[in-house]
Amino acid sequence: MTAHRKLVAGNWKMNGLQAALSEVRAMVEGAASIPGVDLAICPPATLVNAVKAELGSSAIGLGGQDCHAEKSGAYTGDISAEMLADAGAGYVIVGHSERRAGHAETDAVVAAKASAAYRAGLIPIICVGESLEQRDRGETLAVIAAQLAGSVPDQAADRTTVIAYEPIWAIGTGRTPTTAQVAEVHQAMVETLSSRFGGAAKGIRLLYGGSVKPENAHELMHVEGVDGALVGGASLMAADFLRIAAACA
Ligand code: 13P
């Protein structure tokens, strides 16, 4: 699973007003000179349409940050995968730790959302990651294996899928795992997915996320088994996001 074109996806979380579209414009301009790396922006739902318009014919992808498992219905405030696809998205993040923690999303819920993404023709970016307590107790690999088993649907075998390893303690903290720790988890994910999906697992891209910045991107993006990054804070400014992308090239 290592010989992939890298993907750098920006998760804007609950950030971004219309004024942020100027950053998208700068990303489109800058991305043209960074060949060989796939880029995607996951803005808040209110900006998906507007970002789509800014992207125009750019190769930069567009994603949502969450979706409901159902196609439509009485789910006030929710957005379906079909709605995201209709608005021009090609990706959707599911199971981010902020949703697992803040919205009580279980592995089963995350798997249902990932299945909804496939149904709508979207590529799910399925997030997994351990807490600091779990790491300190030596449970990291077991936690990740359990999350992969519960959150990655069987259809992943024949669909395009992205998985992001985001240690919770590295998100928004400026702390990052060592390259050895990232390599250990990514290698374990490769083994877990290979034993479940066989050769089909080779198609799954494995991103690292958690405090990826221009300063550490080159080191993190060249760890064995890392196929790109899921970037939070540093994806809000075009200059930082593009420097991270350039570090993958
Ligand atoms: P930061 O890059 O801000 O640490 O966020 C990582 C993240 O949660 C991306 O989904």
Domain ranges across the chain: 6-248
Q: Is the CB of 174 under 6 A from ligand 1?
A: no
Residue 3: the pLDDT is 67
| DSSP assignment string, 157-194 | GGS--EEEE--GGGTTTS----HHHHHHHHHHHHHHHH
Catalogue the long-range contacts made by 117-121 (C-beta closer than 8 Å, 24 or more residues apart). 117/67, 117/81, 117/92, 118/153, 118/155, 118/159, 119/71, 119/81, 119/82, 120/67, 120/71, 120/80, 120/81, 120/82, 120/84, 120/85, 121/85
Residues 171, 210: Cα–Cα separation, whole Å: 4
Q: Specify the residue with its C-alpha closest to ligand 1, atom 5.
A: 232
Q: How far is the CA of 212 from the centre of ligand 1 (A)?
A: 7
CA of 234 to the centre of ligand 1 (A): 8
| β-sheet bridge partners, residue 163 | 126, 206
* Residue 143: CA count within 13 A, CB half-sphere: 20
How much distance in Å is there from the Cα of 239 to the middle of ligand 1?
17
Amino acid at 197: F
Cβ 56 vs Cβ 81: under 8 Å: no
Residue among 162, 159, 153 at smallest CA distance from 110: 153
Please write down the long-range contacts of 139-148, taking CB distance under 8 Å and 24 or more positions apart. Answer: 140/167, 140/185, 141/184, 141/185, 141/188, 144/185, 144/188, 144/189, 144/192, 145/188, 145/192, 146/107, 147/95, 147/107, 148/189, 148/192, 148/193, 148/196
User: Look-up: residue for tokens 């021009």?
Assistant: 88
Ligand 1 pocket check for 153: Cβ under 6 Å: no
Closest residue by Cα to atom 1, ligand 1, is 232
CATH 3.30.70.360 assigned to 6-248 = no
Query: Which stretches of the chain drop beneath a pLDDT of 50?
Result: 1-2
Give the tens place of pLDDT for each residue, 147-189: 999 999 999 988 999 999 999 999 999 999 999 999 999 999 9
**3-state SS, residue 236:** coil
CA distance 147 to 152: 8
